[in-house]
Amino acid sequence: MSERGPHGVFGGTFDPVHVGHLRLAEEAREALLLERVRWIPAGQPWHRAAPQTSPAHRLGMVRAAIAANAAFEVDGREVASGRPSYTVDTLTALRGELGDAVSLVLILGADAFALLHTWHRWRDLFALAHIGLATRAGQAVDATTLDPALATELAARTGSDARVLRERPSGAIVRFDMTPLAVSATDIRARLARGERCRYLLPDEVFEYIRLNRLY
């Protein structure tokens, strides 16, 4: 196993990026002892309606939001690809670059995890990365409401100890508690459209980016 700490991988639409995303990444970093967190904005998400804002601006907002955190970095590969990107392909490419030894941890909120069985080649994800699973805004993962195949993987792969992330490069699901923050990009878009400034829901740098570029 590599001497390097596990690397977090955090994908999302980020339309716009908000404090819920920032706390999720930071609390994952602290709870799972991640060396760094790589933020990967989706270009054209394949699984949901087209974002309101262009990929380049969503990337720009993430850059602005994370600039002050030395453990965060932005990865523009999905935005640059210009076509729908699948996480399995992105993780395969990252593995090719980082090698087989480094531990990768895909960070997911509980709502995103509950849809994992709908992702392209979702079972292949476990050979590429671990999953760091957060509880979002009181939505605990209730295995009885999950897709049965996903519930089976969850039961087989969940361990309580984040040390597993340093012992092997992929394959485990580690849960961590996250401060509940009922903030969503959908709600923020509606507020911005009404002319609200959304102070403290978004970093000031992101609001400034939105204002300068006349987004939302």
Among 6, 7, 9, 12, binds ligand ATP (CB under 6 A): 12
Positions in 143-202 near ligand ATP (CB under 6 A): 178, 181, 183-186
CA 98 to CA 84: how far, in whole Å? 23
Among 6, 8, 20, 203, binds ligand ATP (CB under 6 A): 20
Tell me how long the chain is. Answer: 216
Please state the closest distance from residue 1 (CB atom) to ligand ATP, in A: 27
Using rule CB under 6 A, residue 137 touches ligand ATP: yes
In degrees and rounded to multiples of 5, residue 36 shows phi and psi of -155, 165
Please state the closest distance from residue 57 (CB atom) to ligand ATP, in A: 14
Using rule CB under 6 A, residue 75 touches ligand ATP: no
Q: In the complex, which residues of this chain contact ligand ATP (CB under 6 A)?
A: 12-15, 20-21, 24, 108-109, 111-112, 134, 136-137, 178, 181, 183-186
